[in-house]
């Protein structure tokens, strides 16, 4: 387990720093005072003060971070503007987050998640430009007997064009799209003798091991693939194409994650695959052994996930604050402190429940349950 700690810390430090720097950058842009920029929680391990008085620090528990604004006393202070005006001088009021215009507060809060998306796009772009992206069309080489693919009508030499409406750009996309599907049937669009054919395939779910040796519930259809004309097409992209494909990959991760969340809520999703910090630490260490490119790719995916989760309209997350600002825009005033407290209790319960469930899966994955 100790072999996984350093890759995990590097991943978390980078992803969390970028997230918090998004908040910090827009706070400074709009004149908000920032007293603390912390990576981690708990006791400070190392820190320093910059010229503006911000305390930059690394703390004991590396499972997140925060930016603390000048004058912040509690999460409900937006409803206490009259009290705040009496406590601060005119100069200090200009540095208070809660007195900034609504659009500025919304941008400061949203900047954290969007910084995570930008980091992921930057990583994907760098890989596509300097390492390359695979565009090898997948052709079916073998159909296993009595498999879902054979039952549905797939045949040898069929070329796979789309899976669940997602364009298959390379042979590597096929297993990813099958694994990420959440519905009972998977839609395949294939090319056979220059004709496009649509087929619905009901995958089997088996317990297997991924490429890292971790136990997973795997969706299979029973096919093996070969490159079209037995030629690998790996291409280094220019900046514009790299950016386009990077944005598309971020969108795919977000949409797939939301579909997976929806399937869990409806009861049809595989909740055993939901993991927390322990599983992330384990996988990050395993991926790091394969080299810097797979590790950077994982960092990009984790960054997208962190940005997306923080946009959920749950109090205590950035999306919860944006939800409150939406109410403020509609009502013309902030929600009362009592109402906000009620929302935050619900948010705390939801987050603690999610953390408990994810940690339980992590411990079960380690064989402790």
Residues forming the active site: 20
* Dist CA 320 CA 341 (whole Å): 12
In a 3-state reduction of DSSP, which class is residue 309?
helix
E-only strand ranges, 55-105: 55-69
Phi, psi of 89 (to 5 degrees): -75, 170
Q: Note whether 252 and 142 are within 8 A (CB).
A: no
Question: Cα–Cα distance between 211 and 116 in angstroms, integer?
Answer: 26
Which string of b and e fits 217-241 if b means at least 16 CB within 10 Å?
ebbbbbbebebeeeeebeeebeeee
Indicate the DSSP class of residue 334: P
Q: Where are the alpha helices (DSSP H) in the chain?
A: 5-29, 81-87, 90-93, 102-130, 148-152, 171-180, 239-266, 277-288, 292-310, 318-331, 337-365
Count of CB atoms situated within 10 Å of the CB of 350? 15
Q: Do β-strands 159-163 and 234-235 pair in parallel, antiparallel, or remain unpaired?
A: unpaired
Instruction: Classify residue 73 as left (phi > 0), alpha (psi -120 to 50) or beta.
Output: alpha
């Amino acid at each position: 387990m100790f072999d996984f700690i350093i890759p995990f810390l590097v991943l978390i430090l980078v992803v969390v720093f970028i997230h918090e720097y998004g908040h910090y950058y827009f706070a400074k842009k709009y004149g908000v005072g920032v007293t603390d920029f912390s990576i981690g929680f708990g006791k400070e391990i190392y820190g320093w003060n910059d010229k503006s008085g911000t305390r930059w620090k690394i703390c004991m528990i590396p499972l997140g971070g925060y930016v603390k604004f000048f004058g912040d006393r509690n999460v409900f202070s937006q409803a206490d503007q009259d009290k705040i005006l009496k406590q601060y001088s005119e100069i200090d009021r200009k540095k208070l987050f809660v007195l900034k215009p609504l659009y500025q507060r919304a941008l400061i809060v949203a900047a954290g998640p969007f910084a995570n998306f930008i980091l992921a796009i930057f990583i994907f772009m760098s890989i596509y430009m300097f390492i390359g992206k695979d565009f090898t069309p997948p052709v079916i080489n073998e159909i296993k007997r009595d498999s879902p693919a054979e039952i549905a009508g797939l045949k040898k030499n069929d070329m796979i064009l789309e899976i669940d409406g997602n364009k298959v750009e390379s042979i590597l996309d096929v297993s990813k799209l099958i694994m990420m599907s959440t519905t009972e049937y998977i839609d395949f669009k294939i090319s056979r003798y220059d004709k496009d054919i649509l087929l619905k395939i009901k995958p089997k779910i088996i317990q297997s091991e991924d490429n890292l040796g971790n136990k997973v519930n795997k969706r299979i259809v029973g096919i093996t693939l070969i490159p079209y004309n037995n030629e690998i097409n790996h291409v280094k992209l220019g900046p514009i194409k790299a950016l386009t494909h990077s944005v598309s990959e971020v969108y795919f991760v977000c949409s797939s994650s939301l579909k997976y969340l929806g399937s869990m809520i409806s009861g049809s999703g595989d909740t055993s695959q939901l993991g927390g910090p322990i599983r992330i630490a384990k996988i990050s260490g395993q991926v790091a052994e394969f080299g810097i490119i797979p590790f950077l790719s994982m960092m990009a995916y984790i960054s997208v996930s962190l940005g997306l989760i923080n946009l959920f309209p749950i109090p205590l997350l950035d999306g919860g604050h944006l939800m409150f600002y939406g109410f403020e825009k509609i009502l013309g005033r902030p929600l009362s402190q009592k109402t906000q407290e009620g929302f935050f209790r619900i948010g705390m319960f939801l987050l603690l429940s999610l953390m408990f469930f994810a940690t339980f899966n992590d411990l079960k994955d380690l064989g402790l349950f």
